[in-house]
Amino acid sequence: MKHLVIVRGGGELASGVIHCLYKAGLRVIILEKEQPTATRRRVAFADAIYRGEATVERITCHLAKDVKEAKQRVKKGELIMLCDPKGECIKELKPRVVVDALLRHENVAGTSRDMADHTVALGPGFCAGRDVDVVVETMRGHNLGRLIYEGYSYRDQQSDGGLVGDPANLEHLVFAPVPGKVKLLQNISMYVKKGEPLAVITSKGKKTEVCATIDGMLRGAVHSGLTVEKGQKIADIHPRMSREECFAISDKARCIGGSVLTAIMAWESQDSKKSKFPFNHISFD
């Protein structure tokens, strides 16, 4: 499939990128795993894996059962998701651009420059000019969204503006105290109090209650029924967020989305003499 962008990952930041690219008129297919663990599910297309579709700010992503269906629906202009964590469909689809938006701080999916004509990756774990063509800085601060064409992004990645490992900066996150299956007791966009039960984790017949760590808006939680590991993030509470903001793409995601679009358009402009068609034209081999 020509003139196509494949985005690996459908989490919060990935969805900000996807929303920006799709709204700009690019054709996009999202690749996700069987059980996505995104917590900010109201602004993550990853939820389409569980529900068959997911809508973020008036743009709906549809889950396709196979590559054949994905091709047909993308040709009609739909935003499509495939369950393909290994990216096995990339060789068949032959996208013009691949964006690795998994944000795992290392290249766990094996994204490489030979996957497409142009490759982009978010955050640390990639070397621009070697692993991919462009790396986008994802750390908040002066360089957020900066396009890196040689070398790495800032390696000491921060968490929401604070240093990783600092308890004061992780208090808003809720982690699973035990492994097991999660059952949510609260809905995203509900105000919760510190100590209030958020979920129950069942493991080997034993139920463990998980409570809110601070007062605030429950802005994210994993999908109820998901099996988690001990220490895995299962919820996110924001002390000052409004209910409406739980359903809106964040400033960080919008910034990174704009940066990825810039990276693609800058490359397309340089490559325009070789390209017969604009990016919003779709055709099949």
**pLDDT per residue as tens digits for the range 5-18:** 999 999 999 999 99
* 118 & 218 share domain: no
Q: What is the pLDDT of residue 151?
A: 92
- Based on the domain organization, do 195 and 66 belong to the same domain? no
Mean pLDDT value across the chain: 91
Q: How far apart are CA 120 and CA 131, in angstroms?
A: 9
Do 26 and 102 belong to one domain?
Answer: yes
Strand partners, 147: 136
CATH number (domain holding residue 18) = 3.40.50
Please indicate, yes or no, whether residues 144 and 20 belong to a single structural domain of this protein.
yes
Could you give the percent of the chain with pLDDT greater than 90?
86
Residue 268: which H helix or E strand, with range?
A: helix 251-270
Confidence at residue 284, expressed as pLDDT on a 0 to 100 scale: 52
Phi, psi of 262 (to 5 degrees): -60, -45
Residue 79 falls within a domain, yes or no? yes
At 166 the pLDDT is 46
**Segment 9-29 mean pLDDT:** 97
pLDDT at 280: 53
* Model pLDDT, residue 45: 98
CATH code where residue 179 lies: 2.40.50.100
Q: Are residues 35 and 101 in the same domain?
A: yes
Tokens of 10: 């459908």
| pLDDT value for 273 | 57
Mention every residue, 6+ apart, whose C-beta is less than 8 A from residue 253. 12, 13, 15, 16, 17, 43
Domain that holds residue 93: 5-158+250-270
Mean pLDDT calculated for residue range 44-52: 97
Q: 177 and 63, same structural domain?
A: no
Share of the chain above pLDDT 70, in %: 89
- CA angle 11/268/28 to nearest 5° reads 30
d(CA 128, CA 121): 8
- 113 and 147 part of one domain: yes
The pLDDT, as a whole number, for residue 248 is: 96
pLDDT digits (tens, 9 = 90+) for 225-273: 999 999 999 999 999 999 999 999 999 999 999 999 999 999 999 876 5
Within a domain: 122? yes
Specify the number of domains making up the chain.
2
Encoded tokens for 97? 């651009």
pLDDT at 215 over 90: yes
Mean predicted confidence (pLDDT) in 198-217: 96
**Is residue 120, in this structure, part of any structural domain at all?**
yes
The region of weakest confidence among 91-105, 134-148, 153-167, 232-246 is 153-167
> Quick one: pLDDT at residue 3?
81
Task: Report DSSP state, residue 132.
Answer: B
**Per-residue pLDDT tens for 151-193?**
999 854 444 444 444 444 688 999 999 999 999 999 999 999 9
Q: How far apart are alpha carbons 152 and 146 in whole angstroms?
A: 11
Q: Rounded to 5 degrees, what are φ and ψ at 67?
A: -65, -40
